[in-house]
Structure 1
Amino acid sequence: MNAMKQILMMVLLGAVACTKPEVEGPQEHGKSGQGIVQGRVVDSQGKGVANAEIIANSTDMYDKTTTGYTDGQGNYRFKVPTGIAEGSYTLSGSLTVKYHNRNYRMVLYQEDTRAFSAYDGAVRNFVFRLTGKRTANDDETATPLGATLEVYHDFNHIALENIELTLEPEGPLVDGSTGKKLVTMMPRGDYHIKDIPLGKYTISARDKVTGRRLGVSIQDSSRDYAPSVTALFEDEDFEGSEHFRLGLLVGVL
Structure 2
Amino acid sequence: MKPLYLLINLLLSVLLITACTTDPDTNPAPSPTSPQKGYASGKVTDTQGKPLANADIVVNNAQLYNYNVLGQSDAKGEYSLKLTPGSWYVRGTVTVSFDNKTYVLDLHPDKEGGFAGSEGAVCNLQWKLTGPKPTEFGGNGYYGGLVEVYGEGNFVDTQGLELTLEPIGRLIDGSEGQKIVRQLEGQSIGQTQDIPIGRYRITARYLPTGQILNLRLRNADQDYASDVTSSFEPAYLGATGSYKLTLEARLP
| Fold in common (TM above 0.5) | yes
Alignment counterpart, residue 164 of structure 2, candidates 163, 166, 169: 166
Alignment counterpart, residue 74 of structure 1, candidates 73, 77, 81: 77
- Written as runs of structure 1 = structure 2, the 5 A alignment for 1:183-198 is 183-187=181-185, 189=187, 191-198=190-197
Could you tell me how far 1:181 is from its partner in structure 2? 1.0
Match of 2:5 in 1: none
* CA distance in 2 between partners of 1:217 and 1:28 (Å): 52
* CA distance in 2 between partners of 1:74 and 1:29 (Å): 10
Worse-matched range after superposition: 39-48 or 188-197: 188-197
**Structure 1 position 241 matched with structure 2 position 244:** no
Q: Report % sequence identity.
A: 33
Match of 1:35 in 2: 38
**Structure 1 position 124 matched with structure 2 position 123:** yes
Specify whether residues 97 and 225 from structure 1 end up closer, same or farther in structure 2 by C-alpha distance, changes over 3 A only: same
Specify whether residues 113 and 68 from structure 1 end up closer, same or farther in structure 2 by C-alpha distance, changes over 3 A only: same
3-state DSSP class of the match of 1:134? Answer: coil
Q: Is the 8 A contact 1:109 1:133 kept in 2?
A: no
Q: Is the 8 A contact 1:97 1:104 kept in 2?
A: yes
Could you tell me how far 1:178 is from its partner in structure 2? 1.1
**Structure 1 position 133 matched with structure 2 position 132:** yes
Q: Which amino acid aligns with 1:166?
A: T
**Structure 1 position 89 matched with structure 2 position 80:** no
* CA distance in 1 between partners of 2:67 and 2:205 (Å): 51
**Structure 1 position 58 matched with structure 2 position 66:** no
* CA distance in 1 between partners of 2:239 and 2:156 (Å): 35
Q: How many residues align structurally? A: 228
Could you tell me how far 1:211 is from its partner in structure 2? 2.1
Specify whether residues 210 and 60 from structure 1 end up closer, same or farther in structure 2 by C-alpha distance, changes over 3 A only: closer
Match of 2:146 in 1: 148
Q: Which amino acid aligns with 1:191?
A: G
* CA distance in 1 between partners of 2:82 and 2:122 (Å): 12
* CA distance in 2 between partners of 1:125 and 1:88 (Å): 18
User: Gaps spanning 5+ residues in structure 2: where?
Assistant: 1-18
Could you tell me how far 1:53 is from its partner in structure 2? 1.0
Could you tell me how far 1:46 is from its partner in structure 2? 1.5
Cα deviation per residue 1:1-46 (whole Å; 9 max; x = unaligned)?
Answer: xxxxxxxxxxxxxxxxxx9xx9855366522223211101112322
Match of 2:178 in 1: 180
* CA distance in 1 between partners of 2:234 and 2:186 (Å): 26
User: Gaps spanning 5+ residues in structure 1: where?
Assistant: 1-18
3-state DSSP class of the match of 1:161? Answer: helix
3-state DSSP class of the match of 2:81? Answer: strand
Match of 2:48 in 1: 45
Could you tell me how far 1:173 is from its partner in structure 2? 1.1
When the two structures are superposed, what TM-score results if normalisation uses the length of structure 1?
0.81
Q: Is the 8 A contact 1:89 1:115 kept in 2?
A: yes
Match of 1:114 in 2: 113
